[in-house]
Amino acid sequence: MVELKFLTHSTKFRCRRCTRCCSLDVMLSDQEIGRLGAAVDRRWRTTRKSSRNGRMVCSLLDGDCCTIYDKRPILCRVFPFIAIPESEFAEAGIGVDPDAVKITRAGTEAYLIIYDSDCPGIGEGDPTDPGAIQELTIRHLREMSHRIDRR
Ligand code: SF4
Ligand code: SF4
């Protein structure tokens, strides 16, 4: 069973630019697909990959730099974090860390944030801003819902 890691007030993070997450398949929204053009693998709704030293990496990575850094997809911005509505944990029967930060904001349900503990940047740097992660995640979900609603 996978043990989920929840963001708490003491969770620190600083990206070490290891590029590990640039091998993952980030789910792109319609806007991102339109904007990234030929760099998109439309079948899987993610960025195209190419082989580098035996691993597949995003074709938009040059050395250890993202060539579209200022305009990178939302899920690249929030990694290693993602915000999830609190109700989904209850529905799935998943226990929540009692120290998990709960984000409650007018107009949205309560959210909790989980993270990929294999990211080398976890535990370094400054405490993470949960509000910013929630905002970006909701924006991504809205863009994805927009795509689903139109079908
Ligand atoms: S895996 Fe973590 S530390 Fe490495 S580039 Fe991605 S976010 Fe930064
Ligand atoms: S778009 Fe940039 S940050 Fe996102 S996976 Fe590709 S190279 Fe990495």
φ and ψ at 63, to 5 degrees? Answer: 65, -120
Pick the atom of ligand 2 nearest to 26's CA: 5
Domain count, the chain: 1
Residue 119 Cβ contacting ligand 1 at under 6 Å? yes
Whether the model pTM is above 0.85: yes
Count Cβ atoms below 10 Å from residue 45 Cβ, excluding itself. Answer: 17
Residue 26 Cβ contacting ligand 1 at under 6 Å? no
Please give the pLDDT value at position 150.
Answer: 43
On the CB side of 69, how many CA atoms lie within 13 Å of its CA?
8
In tens, the pLDDT along 1-54 reads 557 999 999 999 999 999 999 999 999 999 999 999 999 999 999 999 999 989
Residue-range definition of the domain harbouring residue 33: 5-149
Token pair of 121, please? 């940047």
| Residue nearest to ligand 2 atom 8, measured at CA | 22
